[in-house]
Amino acid sequence: ADLRNSYEKTKYSHACVARRLIEKNKIVQVGIRSLCQKEADFIKKKNLRLFYARDIVGREEWMEEAISRLSDKIYLSIDLDFFDPSLIPAVGTPEPGGLGWYETLKFLRLLTKEKKILGIDVVELSPAPQDIPSSFTAAKLIYKLIAYLTAI
């Protein structure tokens, strides 16, 4: 969930990104599959609503709820660990049970129609030189996002 207060003696680790964001911003996290006890305690203490993969994979009703929790103008950060590793295995933390391609595209299409996206980042791709499918899939995701954002 990247909600740790610190990791490996720094507050600015990849495992702390969401925690830093929550300090100043409203965020929505989708596709969470694992977290440590400290993260679970923080979620409970702050009464955060996370969209866990186990609750949303294969369903669509969560999409509107997730979008409705966002401001009108948003920054979109996509951690490729979000996907099931059968789709993109070359990530920092390949965790089974992630979301699939088509449900992700459906969510992103809805999101880009309903919210003004001010910026996007796509992170955590970590391919070996011979791992062309992971890089291709990440590039295609970015291509799709650009297409959704520029659609008339």
Q: What is the pLDDT of residue 151?
A: 86
Rounded Cα gap, residues 152 and 150, in angstroms: 6
Measure the CA–CA gap between 45 and 51, rounded to whole angstroms. Answer: 17
133: its two tokens:
């499918």
Q: What is the pLDDT of residues 13-61, one digit of tens each?
A: 989 999 999 999 889 999 999 999 999 999 999 999 999 999 999 999 9
124: Cβ–Cβ under 8 A, 6 or more apart, which residues?
14, 79, 80, 81, 91, 92, 93
Supply the pLDDT for residue 137. Answer: 98
Taking only the tens place, the pLDDT of each residue in 123-132 is: 999 998 888 9
Digit-coded pLDDT (tens) for 32-41? 999 999 999 9
Q: Which fold has domain 14-150?
A: Arginase; Chain A (3.40.800)
Please tell me the pTM assigned to this model.
Answer: 0.91
Residue 74: enclosing H or E segment and its boundaries? Answer: strand 73-79
pLDDT in tens, 94-125: 999 999 999 999 999 999 999 999 999 999 99
Closest CA to 90 of 35, 136, 150: 136
- DSSP conformational letter for 124: -
The string over 89-99, giving b where at least 16 C-beta atoms fall within 10 Å of a residue's C-beta and e elsewhere, is: bbbeebbeebb
| Residue-range domain boundaries for the chain | 14-150
